[in-house]
Amino acid sequence: MFDFFKYQSLGNDFIVLDFLNKTNAYIDVFLNPQKWPALAKKLCDRHFGIGADGILIIRYREKREIEALLYNADGSSGFFCLNGLRCIAHYLVTQRNQAASLSMIMNKKIITAQVKKTGQVVNVSLSLPKPHYQGMQVLTIHRKKITGHIVDAGNPHFVIFDEIDPSWLAQYGHKIESNPFFPQKTNVEFIWPDTTSSTPTYHLLVFERGCGMTLACGSGAAAAMTALAEQGEIKPGKTVTFKMQGGDLGSFIDAEGRLYQEALTQFIFKGNYKLD
């Protein structure tokens, strides 16, 4: 049996498992590759499990640095997740009494977080190195030519500047995600400007690798921000709002090239789970 905490940021929901008091040997046994993927799928199942987009495990590294491990709803290992890191920061500050300003490691990247709590509202800002832009690629998906921008945001992304109907993405998103051009699969984002807004605002629709369509994706917003900057659409220091199905996220890139994001997080519930 183990305790768990459930959080969400922009509708991306996660099961947080706190292994800060566990040894790495214990964690290695718990994450047995012969058993863990099936257990992760079971925990994330919304009908027969706890239900989530993914599982976040936090542990200490050798120098007492906090490291986060991510597993997707399909049981696969995830590389990076900014909404997940926002949820972990919320957990560490409110449940573990960490300082409101803290740093975490995920996939060898150091991310700094600032947690602001006003009553029941928790807002988490993240700072990270700007993702790596890797050029453009044209794919043909269901007789439709799609030109996208390839971005490494700690995980792979394919950012497409085009307005798309959610039903199309739900039906064909997996064909982009698993296209042979992406041997490790990719996250997919469609982005288009909000013409009703007087400030830089974009709609962002997400198909996440290992999860399918989700309400939001923090690293997807970071990838979209990087693609916009590469195309000269935004200037350093200028805040951009991304409107996703799960809510709004604010972001900017500073003069030194660091990327900043801010969004709300929420504690949902906690409990314990008995292993079979």
Strand-pairing partners, residue 3, are 272
Nearest-angstrom CA–CA distance, 204 and 242: 6
Q: Which amino acid is at 138?
A: V
Nearest-angstrom CA–CA distance, 200 and 100: 29
Here the tokens at position 143 are 């007789």
What number of other Cβ atoms are within 10 A of residue 98's Cβ? 16
Active site residue 81: yes
Q: Which of 44, 81, 87, 211 is catalytic?
A: 81
Backbone dihedral angles phi then psi of residue 161, each to the nearest 5 degrees: -85, 85
Q: CA 69, 92, 87: angle at the middle one, nearest 5?
A: 60
Cα dihedral value 194, 195, 196, 201, nearest 10:
40
Q: Which of 44, 87, 211, 217 is catalytic?
A: 217
List, by residue number, the catalytic residues.
Answer: 81, 217
